[in-house]
Each structure stands twice: as C-alpha cells, then as structure tokens.
Amino acid sequence: MATKRKGKGAYMISSVAEMYEIHPQTLRLYEREGLLRPSRSDGNTRLYTDEDLERLEFILNLARDLGVNIAGIAIVLQMRERMEEMNRQMQGFVDYVRTEMLARMQPQPTAGLVPLRRPVVVPEAKETAKTVRASRKTKTAGL
C-alpha cells in the first residue's frame, strides 16, 4: 500500500479516515481493540502521529490485502512487537560480546613485571582423604 502521508505532525480522526478511505468508526474500533493507541489532545481529541499511521497502514494491509480478521491482526502485531524486542536484545548481546572480545584482544600492559609461572597442583578428593588418614595413623603410632 502506498504511503498517503504528507509532512509531520498529528492528524485528527477525520483527516486519517479520509486519507485512508475508512470510516472513523473503524479507527475507533481499532483503538478499542488495542490495535492503535493514538494520543489525545487537551480536549480529548484523538491525534494520530506518523508512527500511528505506519501502524494503521500495516493493519489495513493485513485486513484488506490479506483478509486477516481483527483477532488475527492483534496476534500478528503482538508477534511483531515480540520479534522487535528479541531483535533489540540480540543486538545488545552481540554488542556486549563484541566489546568483551575487543577488550580481551587488546594487549594488557604489564608495567615491566615478569609473569611467574608455577605449576598448580590440585589434589583429588580421594587422595587427600587417604593422605589425611595416613598422617593420622603415623601420628597416633608415634604416641
């Protein structure tokens, strides 16, 4: 569907209905069903922003071109919002991993220190228990 918007700002319900060739009651129905959320003026007049009009175009595309009913449109919109949120989360994760990788790839300044390398020996639990028992036996035998 071609974009029928011109300029920026907020549009009243009658203007939007005329631009998209729909009845104002259809817009009220979409609002009542939670598909659209226009802002309100001080006089409680519905004001549709450019973002609202983009959403309306998507809704009308689903309804007119694809034959999706209101319940189906609500599900599609919810899935779309979830996918956008997951995409934001994934992008945040990718940015975090990229930052961590770059930080780890940077050479760490050692300030003239020479690293001390010693082998680390970690005794297993069974060997430690045997060693403790053996040392107790030798201590008690010596008494």
Q: What is the pLDDT of residues 45-80, one digit of tens each?
A: 999 999 999 999 999 999 999 999 999 999 999 999
Which pLDDT band, with edges at 50, 70 and 90, does 29 fall under?
very high
Token pair of 130, please?
């045997």
pTM above 0.75, yes or no: no
Among residues 6, 64, 76, which one has the least CA distance to residue 35? 76
Q: Domain 11-79 carries which CATH code?
A: 1.10.1660.10
pLDDT > 70? residue 14: yes
Q: How far apart are CA 46 and CA 64, in angstroms?
A: 23
Q: Is the pLDDT score of 109 beyond 70?
A: no
Q: Distance (Å, rounded) from C-alpha 4 to C-alpha 22?
A: 13
Percent of the chain whose pLDDT exceeds 70: 73
The answer to whether residue 9 scores a pLDDT higher than 60 is: yes
Starting at the earlier edge strand, list the strands of the sheet with 46-48. Answer: 11-12, 46-48, 39-40
What is the arithmetic mean of pLDDT over 3-21? Answer: 80
